[in-house]
Structure 1
């Protein structure tokens, strides 16, 4: 199994804060950090140093999506505050779902409320008789 971590964060958030919430969320879900295949967020956070550094420390790519694309994703915890700030009612959950497939852990918020994350299981893409996704399919 591989997991996409959707991340939302306030301006100037540290990599330590981002990683802290991700690690806590993975631990509580019983998952090792090695299952993380990418971090995903909204385009406007593409240059946010804390998110960029967190992806680098995890050794995974950072994928970003336009707010209008994230806004089309149905999520369990939309927020009008997030919509006003980011142009989409969800960053963490929507980004995880767009990049992943099945929501494993809904939006979690850090103690200080500056970071959010959500976990989604990455879909395996069937191609002909084979598959992609970098893991052995379960039979």
Structure 2
């Protein structure tokens, strides 16, 4: 798999025992759940997913809600202003113009999960995915 900056990434992730991934997603309105689930699984494989994280305007989208239900996880939402404050590796001028922040997937994953991406911005079938390993709760 190739990320948006041309790096090769494996399709599955080794996470510490008991940890899960916070998966950030950037989608267009009306994206169907099956496409979202396929894109997420293409990036993270069979890794345990703890949540889907995204822009607040997308969190209520029926496709996003249905994808989260299919994956058995919650949706975590952040405002564009909150996402814009996160320091990320990849910025999108298209996203900035469309939703008011230059990063949705990476910034949402970082806010939901932790401080180190295990998968940076990756685009699958028009859906942007990023993932952060969430340490197990003690």
Shift of 1:110: 1.6
Shift of 1:123: 4.1
Count residues with an aligned counterpart: 119
Corresponding position of 2:131? 119
Q: Quote the RMSD (CA, aligned, Å).
A: 1.2
Give 1:50-69 correspondences, 5 Å limit.
50-69=63-82
Shift of 1:48: 1.1
1:20 aligns with 2:38: yes
- Give unmatched runs, 5+ long, in structure 2: 1-18
Shift of 1:70: 0.4
* TM-score, length-scaled by structure 1: 0.81
1:8 and 1:121 map into 2 onto residues whose CA distance is 18
Q: Could you list the structure 1 runs, at least 4 aligned residues long, displaced by more than 4 angstroms after superposition.
A: none
1:93 and 1:38 map into 2 onto residues whose CA distance is 14
* TM-score, length-scaled by structure 2: 0.82
- Aligned residue for 1:74, secondary structure, equals coil
Indicate the structure with greater strand content: 1
Larger Rg: 1
Give 1:3-42 correspondences, 5 Å limit.
3-27=21-45, 32-33=46-47, 35-42=48-55
- Aligned residue for 1:53, secondary structure, equals helix
Shift of 1:121: 0.9
- Give unmatched runs, 5+ long, in structure 1: 125-132, 135-139
Residues 38-94 of structure 1 deviation map (CA, whole Å, 9 limit, x = unaligned): 000011112211111110111110010011010000111111110111111000000
Equivalent of 1:87 in 97, 100, 117: 100
Residues 3-58 of structure 1 deviation map (CA, whole Å, 9 limit, x = unaligned): 1000110111110110011000012xxxx24x111000011112211111110111
